[in-house]
Structure 1
């Protein structure tokens, strides 16, 4: 049995993180685990109180917010497990979740990373994720399989390859990390799991899903469903991902599409919704990609 390091990142959401910890203590049946919580520069440091309340959990504190990838990388560096299960703090686990994923990795040495099925916490009969399709590099779009579908058994017993792991819940083999490297911290927020999946595949591993393993996701508790931060990084990192993985000609075609179609459509939406500040945020997301290299760690934090 492999030791599984369960890693989660907290940012200004201590009560939600505590709900996750309680769900692990109450429901998880896989015995060989360590739990690591990274506090990512929360305004009020919850770690001193947590150390008293949760003596078996390993806590790490970053004094600044270093992003989803940066926070997870701190946890990875502190972990000792052969498998690393990265889960959002706004999730709750189910009984067999960890065991099913770990057993799948045990039995399939070609699998570098695996995700469970993800259902919405507030609508537990509805899927958020049952796999990803491959990215269309001309449009920078792919599809989330199963999203918003009611669970009628249509994805029962799906155990096999998918295009990308899901950042809300993914178990990674340590040897895959050793070869592919840590998560790319310049993404900061969004698309980093797609980039990581691509790099893991480039090292000869497969990305799988096991829909018999289920996790419930509260989604978007940290940044808000329509926040400036989310809007900026979703646009900036969509471009960055294509820059990083598409051939040069394909990237040029994508940028023509993005500037002419996507940007126009987004601005119409912003105007319709009276989100006028989002227009400048979109331009800043585009501008970053014209003025920074793909490996640049220069960030921007819209207010």
Structure 2
């Protein structure tokens, strides 16, 4: 542990992943342009949007790097494009930031300051507040129960009264605002694109932790989040990807996976959905189980084996 003379000498690449969310991306961009941290480069990765996002971004910000993936690669795949771009250009840090956020001007400075002070830190996350009601916490650290395939947020929905204002180790860092050191990526690799959506950053954090890096919640870095904006665009996606990826996550990270408990909980959820007549959602859960059992991963429309 020890401070550095000039934390802002570290180059940070801010990766914003956009998929048909141009208005959110523009608002996020403007808040990032007000950051006090000067050694930063914003990069937008567009996951083959159909709302004219790429053209508008290039017109409005001609000097802004906009990377076009060519298809919807999901959270991991799209961000990995940005991560590789950043590392190739000498990034010391990469900050993954959801496009449906706005940031406090000191948000990045605080993340880097703590990262440079806490030498064993590998991945750091912000205090994230609700955009709709900034008095409420969305993320003040996270917990993981790999044996059950469960993750969650500390302080979710609780008023922010300063009770979570200490830098602390955390079970994982949400991909909504995640700062990662270059050396961590070089050691553990990029995120697993087979997840497509959900659990990819949780597994990434666990991989870093197994290599001896600390995961830190950094409350001096404040971000406001518009909850579930991307998920609402994908009918049935949440339950399909959560069902399938939870099972993958357990298989890969739950050394003593409690399968009976998991299956019982999912069966209970199926019965609840059937009672409500939500047959489409039951089909989504069933597809999640089937694709897990048969070893298919990736985007549901373009599944690959393995």
Scaled by the length of structure 2, the TM-score of the pair is 0.90
C-alpha contact (below 8 Å) 2:146/2:250 kept by paired residues: no
Counterpart of 1:8 in structure 2 is: 16
Which of 73, 91, 95 is equivalent to 1:85? 95
How many matched pairs?
A: 291
**Which 4+ residue blocks in structure 1 deviate beyond 4 angstroms?**
none
2:124 aligned to which of 84, 94, 114: 114
Match in the other structure for 1:241: 249
Matches within 5 A, 1:278-289: 278-289=281-292
Q: Indicate conservation of the 8 Å contact 1:83/1:173, yes or no.
A: yes
TM-score, normalised on structure 1?
A: 0.91
Are the aligned partners of 1:83 and 1:174 in contact in 2 as well (CA < 8 Å)? yes
| Alignment gaps of 5+ in structure 2 | 1-8
User: Once the 2 structures are TM-superposed, how far is the Cα of residue 298 of structure 1 from its aligned partner?
Assistant: 4.6
Secondary structure of 1:122's match?
coil
Does residue 263 (structure 1) correspond to residue 266 (structure 2)? The answer is yes
Q: Provide the residue aligned with 2:170 in structure 1.
A: 162
**1:58 equivalent among 52, 55, 65:** 65
Structure 1 contact 229–301 (Cα < 8 Å) conserved = no
Moved more, 37-46 or 11-20: 37-46
- Correspondence for 1:148: 157
Q: Secondary structure at the match of 1:113?
A: strand
Shift of 1:226: 8.4
- CA separation in 2, counterparts of 1:126 and 1:225? 24
**How far, CA to CA, are the matches of 1:275 and 1:301 in structure 2?**
22
- CA distance in structure 1 between the aligned counterparts of 2:183 and 2:271, rounded to whole angstroms: 46
Counterpart in the other structure of 1:191: 199
How many angstroms does 1:301 deviate by? Answer: 4.0
Q: For residues 85 and 151 of structure 2, what CA distance do their matches in structure 1 show? A: 33
Counterpart-to-counterpart distance in 1, 2:52 and 2:234: 26
Query: How far apart are 1:273 and its partner, in Å?
Result: 4.2
User: Unmatched 5+ residue regions in structure 1?
Assistant: none
Q: RMSD in angstroms over aligned alpha carbons?
A: 1.7
Listed one character per residue, the Cα deviations across residues 185-223 of structure 1 (whole Å, up to 9, x for unaligned) are 001001111100011112221111111211000021112
SS class of match (2:62): coil
Instruction: Tell me which residue corresponds to 2:189.
Output: 181
C-alpha distance in 2 between matches for 1:153 and 1:55: 41
